[in-house]
């Protein structure tokens, strides 16, 4: 499932993130890349342990906790602390697949990367190129969203960022370990949840059919969930 989640951050939050990023020190993005990814990665990142990365990461995580669409689609168990990158002057990130396991910085915790997420912090008209290209069973998808919007997609996907030939592309990126490991089951639960919400909006919260479907939804989560 490839899903765009609009308005994760408000315009004021985006402006604050950009101001913090403007004042921060940056490092070579290959510092956090695996051996294969490092061969095709050319960008800049906020240092993972920096005060700026911690501040902005907390903003993003708080916003995600208040996004019903994100929570319904991801069913997150753990979220790796968000990181932040920048592309300009022809910088790019070639075709790669994300590492299956990521360490949470400063802790012994590791997460399985079921889902990848990119939260855009620059509007499409601010830079040329810089599309996030995601390969799916149905072909290649070019994603370039307004600032504050997020794209969520399987971490198993081959993907790349095309060269930024003008302007400045900034974004947050991170990975999620879902309570529901299998992509097909996660997609079915998402579709079921959205159907329940549509029924409730049309018929009310006490509609017998939506109540029954809600019970089925939670019983399926009990059957599939890892906690």
Tens-digit pLDDT profile for residues 68-98: 999 999 999 999 999 999 999 999 999 999 9
Chain mean pLDDT for the chain: 95
Q: Which residues of the chain have pLDDT under 70?
A: 34-35
Q: How far apart are CA 35 and CA 221, in angstroms?
A: 36
Q: Are residues 173 and 214 in the same domain?
A: no
Q: What would the pLDDT profile of 15-51 be if each residue is shown by its tens digit?
A: 999 999 999 999 998 877 766 777 888 999 999 999 9
Spatial distance between the Cα atoms of 29 and 219, rounded to a whole number of angstroms: 43
| CATH number of the domain where residue 145 is located | 2.60.120.620
Residue 105 to residue 83: CA distance in whole angstroms:
11
| CB 169, CB 21: distance < 8 Å | no
CB atoms within 10 A of CB 218: 12
| Cα distance between residue 62 and residue 165, in whole Å | 33
Report the number of distinct structural domains present in the chain. 2
Domain check: are 73 and 155 in the same one? Answer: yes
117 and 33, same domain (yes or no): yes
105/15 same-domain check: yes
DSSP code string of 60-112: HHHHHHT-HHHHHHH-EEEEPPPEEEEE-TT-EEEEE---SEEEPTTSS-EEE
Q: Are 70 and 152 in contact (CB under 8 A)?
A: yes
Domain extent at residue 43: 3-178
The verdict on 48 and 139 lying in the same domain is yes
The confidence score (pLDDT) of residue 128 equals 98
Same domain? For 151 and 192 the reply is: no
Answer yes or no: pTM beyond 0.85.
yes
The answer on 97 and 125 residing in a single domain is yes
């Amino acid at each position: 499932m490839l899903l765009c989640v609009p308005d994760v951050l408000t315009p004021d939050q985006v402006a604050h993130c950009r101001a913090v990023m403007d004042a921060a020190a940056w490092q070579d993005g290959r510092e956090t890349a695996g051996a294969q990814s490092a061969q095709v990665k050319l960008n800049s990142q906020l240092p993972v342990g920096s005060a700026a990365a911690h501040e902005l990461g907390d903003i993003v995580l708080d916003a995600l906790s208040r996004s019903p669409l994100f929570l319904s689609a991801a069913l997150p168990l753990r979220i790796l602390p968000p990181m932040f990158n920048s592309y300009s002057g022809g910088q790019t990130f070639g075709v790669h697949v994300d590492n299956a396991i990521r360490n949470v910085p400063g802790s012994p915790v590791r997460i399985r990367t079921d889902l990848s997420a990119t939260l855009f912090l620059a509007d499409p008209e601010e830079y040329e190129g810089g599309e996030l290209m995601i390969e799916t069973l149905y072909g290649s998808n070019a994603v370039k969203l307004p600032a504050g919007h997020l794209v969520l997609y399987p971490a198993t996907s081959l993907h790349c960022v095309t060269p930024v030939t003008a302007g400045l592309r900034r974004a947050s990126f991170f990975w999620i370990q879902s309570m529901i490991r299998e992509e097909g089951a996660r997609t079915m639960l998402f579709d079921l949840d959205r159907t329940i919400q549509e029924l409730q909006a049309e018929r009310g919260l006490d509609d017998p059919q939506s109540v029954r479907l809600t019970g089925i939804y939670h019983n399926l989560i009990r059957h599939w969930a890892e906690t």
